[in-house]
Structure 1
Amino acid sequence: MDDTMNQTLQIGNVGASSLVPVLSFKAVDKNDHVLPQVKVSTVYGSDRGTMVVPYGGAYDILRFSGPGEHDVADVRVTVQTTTTAEIEAGPHEVKTQALDSHGREITRFERFSAVRLTNEDDFPVAVRIAYILWDQPPKGVTQQAVEVTPIGGLTRVPAHGTAVVRVTGKEATAAVARNSNGPAVSIKAYNSQ
């Protein structure tokens, strides 16, 4: 791990069907010693069975908390279970575009009212949206996802089509208001069920 958003976990899938993994993690330091007080969780849910991995693979974002969280150099991953997904995931990431209250495209850094999802694949997919606030670490320290807020729920996006998800609910509305105009936010769609 080095600078910026690099706390990603690549998950491979060589099977013909999309899979739903449940993974567990142990954080280790640069000497490969387990950091027992560091809790490892994920943004997209590969540790909870909410992420769908298409043929070929996908990535999840790791989060660390607890004493020693800044000493994490790597993780050991154990596959607890895998099941076949109810809804196939496409090989392309579903694109996100922030929209204002009039449906105009704006940057993810502005206070948005909705998110347009675009699916480039030949079949419909189902995704969830994560609004992520990143910390601003000094040079040489990895960037952490410090706050993750769901926008909407499970959303089906048609083949070669779009869907619009409104920002509703207290948690999502407050997160967008609080974090807009900040320097480090992302709006990410991930395959789910």
Structure 2
Amino acid sequence: METSDASLGDEWFQSFRALVSECVSLIDTTLHQLYFKAKLDPLAGWKFDEKALGPRHGRRLTDKFNWVYKITGKFLHADTEKKNFVAIKDLRNHLQHFDPPSFCYTLEDAATWLNQVIDCGRLNWAIRQCAGSPLSVPLIELLLQRAVQFVPEHPAAMRVPQPDNVGYLSTKPQAVEGGDV
């Protein structure tokens, strides 16, 4: 990894990459647990219609959010959390496949992602609430994380908002392919 400040090193990047991957797995696993609970040991009032739920594999992960209502009859009120989860999922895909084979980020980007990780915990909690499932200690620990705030080296200096051609936005697949950023 080449950086202008090598003090972060490869270990930080590998840990971050694992964190992002685990966030996606957390949500996917929770949705599959709901699916199997409904299929094998449903709670009163739950519905399980395998045809209506659709296939478990070979489909978009975000389509599985519909399982929550179809099974529990409760709406998943977590629009912000779902939006931030999609951003983390897209980042995970990029970090796992490196397609395009470039990656760049600013510390502002990293702060945003770390806050989106907390929203993945909130999304998990919202799914669990719909299912009537209690919180776990690790989920509570994630939910209690403080929000990350980027603090520039020179806080008094005037800063302009980060443009689309700087940081991660400059290396997202859409930017490299010449599409909209």
Which structure has the highest helix share of the two?
2
TM-score (norm 2): 0.25
Which structure has the highest strand share of the two?
1
Bigger-Rg structure (1/2): 2
